[in-house]
Amino acid sequence: MTQTVEQAWDILAADWQRLQSQHLRDMFANDPDRFDGFSFSLDDLTIDFSKERIDAGALAHLFDLARAADVEDSRDAMFAGKHINTTEDRAVLHVALRGSPDDGYQADGQATADLVDPVLSAFLQFADDVRAGQVTNAKGVAFKDVINIGIGGSDLGPVMATRAMSKFSGEGPNVYFVSNVDGAHLRDATRDLNPETTLFLIASKSFTTQETMINAQAAKVWVENSIGVEASKAHFAAVSTNLDATSAFGIAPERVFGFWDWVGGRYSLTSSIGLSLAIAIGSENFRAFLDGFRDMDQHFKNTPLERNLPVLLALVGIWRRNIMGCATVALIPYNQRLENFSSYLQQMDMESNGKRVTKDGAEVATKTGPVIWGDAGTNAQHSFFQLIHQGTDIVPIDFMITAQPTSYLVEQHDLLTANFLAQSHALAFGKTAQEVRDELLVAGDDPATVEALVPHRTFPGNRPSTSILYSSLTPYSLGRLIALYEHKVFVQGVIWNVNSFDQWGVELGKVMANQLAPMLDDGADLSGLNSSTRGLIENIHALK
């Protein structure tokens, strides 16, 4: 019998009533081969859900929920180029950025390959020419440094991926990023650089993004003051669709690379927004990056739900958020070069699914997007893991690691891996009061001291985590990992019935900032403001 979404939720709630009192220690004791039933692979990529507080029956019921919510039809609609971004009446086709002509993607009846391939070839050629010293300043000197100026999707993805792929930079120029409208960001980035050998990439689709354009103007002044107005034109390129604005800024048309309204900012890393990454790693590595995305796209598109990695990751996330009631998720990559991965996924997940109304404008019936946060292991163990192990809130974790070391320091990778394994084990199984008591008594502590210490050194365990393992951090594996989370976010948005591809919540603050900016002038009329804002402005004036 076909279930409704409401019925599916009710069944899952009953599953939690059954499982809530069960400890992961008992689940593993009752099923010693639990890993075999709750781990899933795609080539070298393995995701282990065995330390989640779930069983086979609950997982089956999560698949029922996905089908009741029409996840498969919604997935097909996205790949078919239908306008699933309903509030902006747009297709959602970031998958076409890394597709092949054989995939047959179309946007409004036009083959996307006819649009994507020429732009891809153009910006990759530009990237290689910058790396080879063939794109030069007015004196014919190669650029040593490149600064990407953007914000949000025009910054977070390139920052994360460029850092992650630093091993593949070879002899390319240094690549830096400026996003914050705080002038200190641009000042710090340029402090030790030579304007004569610095190239700026201005990344703004509309070429009107306030923070980006203020920084771009400041960068322009910095270069012009050093080498003059005319010579400075060689120091700028843009990622934008506003050719009039880029021309007015002084950027030649052949140095402007566009993308399309069916590409959302937080999904744009594989478009020309990735130009800074392409300059950092070169076109060959960038194409391998795209191949990793496409591999996961095809897996998501064609694999049945029960073996579909993004679907599984999404459904376990639904279980955590809606059934267990966990409000946050920590992403902990045991790889220092992925230190920005959680920040990147914050935007992807929270800007996509941080919604309180459904596609129809009604109040959502369930909790939606969790708070995403994290840091690289092992650093995270020495900052916030105390709360995760012994705090009063349950914080599920996605752990990630490569089997192969990222550097030549193999022994350090073994220690890193041991910590990766130890943390998920400790969170799942904890340490009982009796185990603590026995350990301290064996160590020779007197019984009174032991009993005083037992509560402090007991770990409840039963704290869920997922482990993601793959062979090595390469452009291909990074692309596949990002796409895994892109599609996970999509599936969860479908189940919550929200539009994952608009971001009206981002706009309100921008509008109000534009309204308040003139009121920071001396003598501005503050009478229409609330007392808090008025008082703060008055104090700002006094402190200046």
Contact 376, 334 (CB under 8 A): yes
Q: How far is CA 136 from CA 130, 132, 145, 234, 529, in A?
A: 7, 10, 11, 7, 51
Pairing of strands 198-203, 236-239: parallel
Question: In whole angstroms, what is the distance from residue 246 CA to residue 118 CA?
Answer: 20
- One of 284, 382, 425, 507 is an active-site residue; which one? 382
What's the first-to-final CA gap in the chain, in angstroms?
69
- The C-alpha angle 460, 465, 468, rounded to 5 degrees, equals 150
Question: In whole angstroms, what is the distance from residue 26 CA to residue 334 CA?
Answer: 28
Cα atoms in the 13 Å half-sphere on the side-chain side of 33? 2
| CB count in 10 Å sphere of residue 521 | 8
**Nearest-10 crossing angle of helices 56-68, 5-19:** 160
* Sign, Cα dihedral of 456, 459, 463, 467: positive
Residue 510 annotated to the active site? yes
Residue 230 annotated to the active site? no
Q: Going by C-beta distance under 8 Å and a sequence separation of 6 or more, which residues neighbour residue 42? A: 295, 296, 299, 309, 480
Question: In whole angstroms, what is the distance from residue 439 CA to residue 445 CA?
Answer: 9
Question: In whole angstroms, what is the distance from residue 165 CA to residue 177 CA?
Answer: 15
Residue 384 phi/psi, 5-degree rounding, is -120, 5
Contact 383, 342 (CB under 8 A): no
Helix, strand, or coil here: 79?
helix
Q: Which of 365, 376, 368 is nearest to 350 (CA)?
A: 368
Q: Going by C-beta distance under 8 Å and a sequence separation of 6 or more, which residues neighbour residue 138? A: 227, 230, 231, 233, 234
Structure token pair of residue 510: 């921008």
Tokens 């365990």 correspond to 461
Look up residue 210 and give its amino acid: Q
| CB count in 10 Å sphere of residue 499 | 21
Residue 144 annotated to the active site? no
- One of 233, 351, 355, 413 is an active-site residue; which one? 351
Question: In whole angstroms, what is the distance from residue 22 CA to residue 174 CA?
Answer: 52
| CB count in 10 Å sphere of residue 139 | 10
Give the CA diameter of the chain. 82
Helical ranges in 100-228 per DSSP H: 112-132, 156-164, 183-190, 210-227
- One of 82, 139, 425, 510 is an active-site residue; which one? 510
Radius of gyration of the chain (CA): 26
Question: In whole angstroms, what is the distance from residue 186 CA to residue 280 CA?
Answer: 19
Question: In whole angstroms, what is the distance from residue 232 CA to residue 196 CA?
Answer: 8
User: Mind telling me the catalytic residues?
Assistant: 351, 382, 510
